[in-house]
Structure 1
Amino acid sequence: MRQPLLDVLRLLDTVPAPRGRERTAAHRLRAWCADRWPHIDWQVLEHGPEGGSLFAARGAGPLLYSHLDTSLDDGAATVNRLVTGDAAPVGPLAVGGDTVSGFGIGVARGPAAAALVAFAEAESESAAETGADTARGPVRGSVRGQLLLAGSGTHRCGGGAGGTTAVTGLEAYADTHPLPRSAIVAKCGPPTLLWHEPGAFYLTVKVTGRSGAAMLAESAAPPGGVVAHAGVVLDELARWREAYLAADPRQGQTGRACGIGAISGGWPGKPDLLPAQLRIGLYVVAGDPVQPASLGAELAGRLRARCARSALRDCAVDVAVEPVAAAAATPPDAPVVTAARAAWSDEFGAQPPPITGWTGSTDGVELRARGVDTVRLGPQARPADGDPRRDALSLTQLESYARIYRRLLTELPA
């Protein structure tokens, strides 16, 4: 499988696929797949103004799922610099020995390529072995089920412009296609199987005073402006985060996490104006069934009490809550988990190790919320040497997971 995996990865590396704007990449990938594997009916499922997903079906069976969009935007160096601190070109895909590295390989081009090749090559091999016309239906040992490389598979905050309130590729698929009984999520993750994933939500803290001019500090309220007193808010957020994590009940395979991912205030091009508002964005993960609205209200109360004892006493404090998904689990004895455990054991020669405290949330929670038994498994990504914007993966691992995906597509019941 190595050569087809590299061929798919090189193609994905040439076309940007930012969240909500994957349509061009989806159509190019569809055309390439149709030329290479013409016996499969490759389709592009469009959603939103520019979104797109690659889809193929082969009778009744499980859904093999990954996504096309990348966490960072390979077509927007200025946006990426806000996170990475580096606006220089990332550079093309590179292969050295058993390692492949490049932009978006971990999220999620590596496992997406493995899923695509598993689906397509299984069809090709069964057709060649049996001499059957696969266009007339599945044959013994052939792939059964569907492949979806969805657009808008990464989280975003804020609605619109690719935010969480915009329809995703998975939602567009689920609203227009019969859902299978089981699904395999091909994503990078821990070296084990996941049948339980945490939920996630965003919190946006806003502290609002009165604007002013830097040349006259007293013109702002509080004097010097809200940004000058950001330390008060950040200190209370650190205390709240510590308490939130300490209360983690560690249910099942999952755990809690929380981090500040964005701080903003004012106009970078006009820093002689003191802004009226400080904004702080947090990403919160919960493996247990927390209520995001209640948590947001609790945080708002703590911040108001803390600000009341500081120069921010006359400022308005608000915490907005934007849910992404709730935690969800598949029974560990569900057929898809049992089959995945057997395939893993045969491939790696040992049982998948137990895990607790996992804090990565994917579209697996959305599938489980719709009643689809779901298991997640995939290779382990790491930052590439010399450039943390690039991910590195083992090609041997990618081949192993592709074989597992292929086996599940041929063995799981419809």
Structure 2
Amino acid sequence: MRQRLLDVLHLLDALPAPRGGERTAAHRLRAWCAERWPHVEWQVLEHGSTGGSLVADRGAGPLLYSHLDTSLDEQGAATRLVTGDDTPVGPLTVDGDTVTGFGLGVARGPAAAALVAFAEAGAGRLLLAGSGTHRRTSGITGLEAYTDAYPLPPSAIVAKCGPPTLLWHEPGAFYLTVRVSGRSGAAMVAESATPPGGVVAQAGVVLDELARWRTAFLAADPKAGQTGRACGIGAISGGWPDKPDLLPAQLRVDLYVVVGDQAEPKTLAAELTDRLRARCAASDLRDCEIDVVAEPVASAAATPADAPVVTAARAAWLDEFGTRPPPITGWTGSTDGVVLRARGVDTVRLGPRARPDTDEPRRDALSLTELAAFARMYRALLTELG
């Protein structure tokens, strides 16, 4: 099992698969799998302009799902904006039981385990989906393309890194976009802008109120089921870096919000708008317009705790580790499991734990022993539920 996993991991490491640009990687992976396991009919499901997913079907059984894309590319403008570094990350390395490389946590590690498990199980379906990570204005995802083209499975197993337990309840997520608009001006004439000095110079007022709102939002978390709330500022923008002598008319702040309960995004956006307007009215931003827009990604959803796929996953966990999966509350990771549940598919999520590499935070580290354990559990679930 260890060697088979390493073979797949080395292959994936050599195939760039940024979100929405996985098609070439999907075709190369399909060709490799067809040579390695010719008894399986491997297919590529293309979607969007350059997206692609690896699909295979071995008869009755659940869908084993992970995703092919790595969210970011190994280097480039987007990676630099997030990590501050666009130098080459370096190839996959193996040191004893630890494998380290780019994109192992999202999601090459569990995807490799899912691929090996499916090839050996002889039952069920496999989807390694392109465009499997949250992104706004991104078009159709690999999972959406799959559910449009194929019959829905009776149940699904999401192979993703996560907590050391089973998840059958996942939170939803949405984006909030805050815009504070004044009047542009020139840096050499500070009074020409509204507010004087420009709206970006007063960003601290907005960020301070957002921090207060976040504290209240998290404190109101009802801790529904296994899930919880989370919120973070992912982007701040305003002005033109090539010409900073011009004071911009608008400050924009983008937030990612996770909710395990059935909170209404538009209601939260309206509440935040009122808070920001009140705060800005008492500051130099009093003459500015405040606007907050919510953009839903997915709603929180749960599978019944006694559903057959959850019961089977508990049994597989006990067989593999000798203990029952521990309880969990406050989980804030939202995946495509919510998409499957929204379509009426009972879904459970389980996978290894990834951690940032000590020397290079852009690389993830995984235990091969743990990865093999989850591959065996995926294989057992496909066989038992097939």
Q: Equivalences for 1:151-190 in 2 at 5 Å?
A: 151-157=130-136, 159=137, 163=138, 166-190=139-163
What amino acid maps onto 1:43 in structure 2? Q
| 1:169-221 Cα deviation digits (max 9, x unpaired) | 00000011110111000000000000000000000101111111111111111
Would you say 1:410 and 2:383 are equivalent positions? yes
Would you say 1:356 and 2:329 are equivalent positions? yes
Kindly state the Cα deviation for residue 121 of structure 1 after the two structures are TM-superposed.
2.5
Moved over 4 A (4+): none
What amino acid maps onto 1:102 in structure 2? G
Residues 77 and 89 in structure 1, CA contact (< 8 A), matched pair in contact too: no
What amino acid maps onto 2:81 in structure 1? L
* Aligned counterparts of 2:246 and 2:161: Cα–Cα separation in 1: 44
Corresponding residue for residue 319 of structure 1:
292
Would you say 1:338 and 2:305 are equivalent positions? no
* SS across alignment from 1:387: coil
* Aligned counterparts of 2:144 and 2:262: Cα–Cα separation in 1: 22
Kindly state the Cα deviation for residue 373 of structure 1 after the two structures are TM-superposed.
0.3
Corresponding residue for residue 106 of structure 2:
107
What amino acid maps onto 1:154 in structure 2? T
**Residue segments in structure 1 that go unaligned for 5+ positions in a row:** 123-142
What amino acid maps onto 1:229 in structure 2? Q
Corresponding residue for residue 368 of structure 2:
395
* Aligned counterparts of 2:46 and 2:85: Cα–Cα separation in 1: 32
Kindly state the Cα deviation for residue 78 of structure 1 after the two structures are TM-superposed.
2.4
Corresponding residue for residue 30 of structure 1:
30
* Aligned counterparts of 1:297 and 1:73: Cα–Cα separation in 2: 35
* SS across alignment from 1:244: helix
Identity %: 79
* Aligned counterparts of 2:126 and 2:10: Cα–Cα separation in 1: 20
* Aligned counterparts of 2:109 and 2:87: Cα–Cα separation in 1: 23
Kindly state the Cα deviation for residue 6 of structure 1 after the two structures are TM-superposed.
0.7
Match of 1:147 among 126, 140, 146: 126
* Matched length: 386
TM-score scaled by length of structure 2: 0.99
Would you say 1:13 and 2:13 are equivalent positions? yes
| 1:13-60 Cα deviation digits (max 9, x unpaired) | 112111111101101100111111111100000111111000000112
Corresponding residue for residue 133 of structure 1:
none
Greater Cα offset, 143-152 or 189-198: 143-152
**Residue segments in structure 2 that go unaligned for 5+ positions in a row:** none
Corresponding residue for residue 89 of structure 2:
90
Would you say 1:258 and 2:257 are equivalent positions? no
Residues 213 and 272 in structure 1, CA contact (< 8 A), matched pair in contact too: yes
* SS across alignment from 1:278: strand
| 1:85-132 Cα deviation digits (max 9, x unpaired) | 11211111110000001000000000000000001133xxxxxxxxxx
* Aligned counterparts of 1:18 and 1:84: Cα–Cα separation in 2: 15
Kindly state the Cα deviation for residue 400 of structure 1 after the two structures are TM-superposed.
0.2
Corresponding residue for residue 301 of structure 2:
328
* SS across alignment from 2:179: strand
What amino acid maps onto 1:334 in structure 2? A
| 1:233-274 Cα deviation digits (max 9, x unpaired) | 001100100000000000110000001111111111111111
What amino acid maps onto 1:151 in structure 2? G
Corresponding residue for residue 44 of structure 2:
44
Would you say 1:61 and 2:34 are equivalent positions? no
Kindly state the Cα deviation for residue 320 of structure 1 after the two structures are TM-superposed.
1.4
CA RMSD of aligned residues (A): 0.8
Kindly state the Cα deviation for residue 316 of structure 1 after the two structures are TM-superposed.
1.1
Corresponding residue for residue 309 of structure 1:
282
Corresponding residue for residue 137 of structure 1:
none
* Aligned counterparts of 2:248 and 2:177: Cα–Cα separation in 1: 17
* SS across alignment from 1:242: helix
What amino acid maps onto 1:235 in structure 2? D
Kindly state the Cα deviation for residue 308 of structure 1 after the two structures are TM-superposed.
1.0
What amino acid maps onto 1:149 in structure 2? L
Corresponding residue for residue 184 of structure 2:
211
Would you say 1:285 and 2:258 are equivalent positions? yes
Corresponding residue for residue 231 of structure 1:
204
* Aligned counterparts of 1:397 and 1:383: Cα–Cα separation in 2: 16
* Aligned counterparts of 2:363 and 2:339: Cα–Cα separation in 1: 28
Corresponding residue for residue 374 of structure 1:
347
* Aligned counterparts of 2:71 and 2:21: Cα–Cα separation in 1: 13
What amino acid maps onto 2:265 in structure 1? P
Residues 296 and 321 in structure 1, CA contact (< 8 A), matched pair in contact too: yes
Residues 206 and 279 in structure 1, CA contact (< 8 A), matched pair in contact too: yes
* SS across alignment from 1:281: strand
* Aligned counterparts of 1:204 and 1:15: Cα–Cα separation in 2: 34
Corresponding residue for residue 127 of structure 1:
none
Kindly state the Cα deviation for residue 226 of structure 1 after the two structures are TM-superposed.
0.6
